[in-house]
Amino acid sequence: MNRSTDNFIFGLRPVIEAIESGKEIEKVFLQTNLTSPVAKDLQRLLRENNILFQYVPLEKLKRITGKNHQGVIAYISEIAYQKIEDILPFLFEKGKNPLLLILDEITDVRNMGAIVRSAECAGADAVVIPQKGSALINAEGMKASAGALNILPVCREKNLAETIHFMQSSGVQVLACTEKAETSYTTVDLTAPTAFIMGSEGKGISAELLRLADKQVKIPLMGKIDSLNVSVSAGIVLFEALRQRTTNIAAK
């Protein structure tokens, strides 16, 4: 992680005070085997507030900062996360036709920023990321998004499978974008409420989420390379949805 761009705080009391004051915490690194009463209070707060934390060796903390961290470093989020359970009903109540993205463990923060930028430009309503395994949204990601991360709601969910079930039960079709699919993305009706699942740079979409999707779709490729960068793929399918929806409106 880049020390100059990551927004972190350290020390047991400062981290506790940040949590109690309501600051949005991305992730916390705790030194293994912290046993003081204050450390136990911190761990209790982390669990009560459902904040992602990880036990790490002292050497990792020293690599992040040479200052007196007291065995804890917390990364402060650049944005305020939202919940899809709040956003989706609101969209339907407003008469909107939801267009959503589900990012399955996108780990490159620049890809994350670029995807959110494309999503905002295409008129998407929200981006969903998992609590674990996703890139930390830091200053580099904010820059890559060209400000879109300050505009488009980002929902950080504990369980993407449950999120997909919620979307489907709400009337949203969930499409998994994978090069292994047989169906081209252009042949699917994207004028209905739609959520696209985009997979990670290395592993793609997890097998569980592939099974849960209503349909798997692909972007046909004509060259020798068999895959696109995930941010490019996201832009392509989002703007196809926009094309279909604006064409449909014009036809009426």
| Host H or E run for residue 89 | helix 84-93
Cβ 158 vs Cβ 81: under 8 Å: no
- Which residue spans of the chain are classified as CATH 3.40.1280.10? 84-251
Read off the pLDDT of each residue in 95-99 and give the average, rounded to a whole number.
Answer: 96
The two three-digit tokens of residue 232, written as one number: 């490019």
Position 88 scores a pLDDT of 96
- Residue 102 and residue 221: Cα distance in Å, rounded? 22
Structure tokens at 123: 């008129």
Binning pLDDT at 50, 70 and 90, where does residue 251 land?
low
pTM of the predicted protein model:
0.84
Please say if the pLDDT value at position 138 is more than 60.
yes
- Rounded to whole angstroms, the Cα distance separating 232 from 183 reads 19
Which sign, positive or negative, has the C-alpha torsion 232, 237, 242, 243? positive
Q: pLDDT tier at 5 (50, 70, 90 boundaries)?
A: very low
* pLDDT band (50, 70, 90) for residue 174: very high
CB–CB of 201/230 below 8 Å?
Answer: yes
Would you call 33 exposed, middle or buried from its count of C-beta atoms within 10 A (0-12, 13-18, 19+)?
exposed
Instruction: Enumerate the CATH 3.30.1330.30 domain ranges in the chain, comma separated.
Output: 8-76
pLDDT in tens, 31-50: 998 889 999 999 999 999 88
- Backbone phi, psi, residue 195, to 5°: -130, 130
Q: Which residue has the higher pLDDT, 249 or 94?
A: 94
Mention the CATH class of domain 84-251. alpha beta
What does the radius of gyration of the chain's CA atoms come to, in whole angstroms?
20
Range of 87-101, 132-146, 218-232 with top mean pLDDT: 87-101
Return the bridge partners of 195, or none.
Answer: 100, 174
Domain 8-76 sits in CATH at 3.30.1330.30
Pairing between β-strand 72-76 and β-strand 25-31 as defined by DSSP bridges: antiparallel
DSSP string over 152-198? S-EEEES-HHHHHHHHHHTT-EEEEE-TT-SEEGGGS--SSSEEEEE
The mean pLDDT value for 213-228 works out to 90
Could you tell me the pLDDT band of residue 78, with boundaries at 50, 70 and 90? confident
Here the tokens at position 125 are 């309503």
pLDDT digit string (tens) for 53-66? Answer: 999 999 999 999 88
- Phi first, then psi: give them for residue 105, nearest 5 degrees: 60, 55
pLDDT, mean of residues 90-107: 95
How far apart CA 8 and CA 73 sit, in angstroms, is 7
